[in-house]
Structure 1
Amino acid sequence: MSAKPRGVPPELEEMIDSWAAIPAFIRDRYLTVVAANGLARSVSPSFHEGVNLVRSTFLDSDVLHTSPHPRLIAEHVAGTLRESLSRHESDGDFEQIVEELSAASTQFAAAWNDEEAVPGEQDTFTFPHDIVGALTLGYQQLSIPRHFDLTLVVWRPADEPSRTALAELAEIASGASEA
């Protein structure tokens, strides 16, 4: 196994933590969340530090089972991993993720083998939420200068009902962090 990624610079953690109304997290090249703000953690259990988004999508969650478009999500996540692999050198951790998921998930194996599957075909996702209802959010991924292995992911509401629900969730999340 290769070395663990270096820690997230404190100034980046402080920056995303200051965005109380914007769900944001930082992921590494293996698509593992390495830092997340409170609102991102409130949006999805997948957006917690230490969660690998690929494993979470294909093995640990109901994302594919509850989505009206599981094939699109599978292709998107596999394509994002493929894109990361194209920007970074392959190593044991990449190989382990791909081997593990290819063996455990036919959906991952099919999406991984579809070389035309690319991220960006779908940039909005709907997250069910027990308290505020469904949130339809779009995202942007931003490379972090001087930290080539890290990517900032920032979410935004895709429609007015989601904007209202996200504002309500942000208020709840900020109240929980103050308690």
Structure 2
Amino acid sequence: MLRSRHLDVLASNQLARRLTAAFEPGVNVARFAFLNPIVPDLTPDWVTFTRLVAETLRASLERHREDARFRALVGELAARSDDFNRAWAGPRPEPPGTGQFGWEHPVVGRLALAYQELRARGGEDGEVLVLWRPVDGVSAERLERLRTGGDPVPG
């Protein structure tokens, strides 16, 4: 998945789009996370996830302070999401870039995924390529089923 500094999805492969509608091109991942009422139910460690998204936004703000669109996004989230406000005001995790989290996929079940962010040098919109991989055998099998459109895996 390729995203902008505003967390807008610029491009994604089919597997990323099957993983979550948040990775559809044109979707803003922060809005999806904080303003979509089903996301907390799909994210086993909601507090850690919200802190990660908020810190990703904060890191972008620190690099692009004069970005009016970015400030508008943070203002919108602050006005519409108590979860965003708690995450923004809460303790700061390590800067984003690598990590892992769990995701409850409605078709294949729970996935444990690791991610790695790669920043594009010289990209005018602060593009970041985010790579995902399963962290265990069960997640690898479920991700493969998702990729191939295989039958759902029992919980």
TM more than 0.5: yes
Measure the CA separation in 2 of the matches of 1:34 and 1:161: 30
Aligned to 1:171: 148
Measure the CA separation in 1 of the matches of 2:94 and 2:81: 19
Deviation string 1:91-140 (CA, Å, 9 cap, x unpaired) is 21111111111111111112112362444498222222233222211100
Q: Are residue 70 (structure 1) and residue 46 (structure 2) matched?
A: yes
AA aligned opposite 1:33: V
Question: Paired residue for 2:123, among 144, 147, 163?
Answer: 147
Measure the CA separation in 2 of the matches of 1:36 and 1:168: 18
Measure the CA separation in 2 of the matches of 1:96 and 1:118: 25
Taking only the aligned residue pairs, the percentage that are identical comes to 38
* Inter-CA distance 111–131: structure 2 relative to 1 (3 Å threshold): closer
* Inter-CA distance 154–121: structure 2 relative to 1 (3 Å threshold): closer
Q: Where do residues 1-179 of structure 1 align in structure 2 (5 Å cutoff)?
A: 25-114=1-90, 116-120=92-96, 123-148=99-124, 149-172=126-149
TM-score by length of 1: 0.75
Measure the CA separation in 2 of the matches of 1:78 and 1:139: 16
AA aligned opposite 2:149: I
Aligned to 1:13: none
Counterpart contact for 1:44–1:127, Cα < 8 Å: no
* Inter-CA distance 97–106: structure 2 relative to 1 (3 Å threshold): same
Measure the CA separation in 2 of the matches of 1:38 and 1:142: 20
Q: State the number of aligned residues.
A: 149
4+ residue segments displaced more than 6 Å? none
Runs of at least 5 residues in structure 2 that lack an aligned partner in the other structure = 151-155
Runs of at least 5 residues in structure 1 that lack an aligned partner in the other structure = 1-24, 174-179
AA aligned opposite 1:38: Q
- Partner of 1:123, secondary structure, is strand
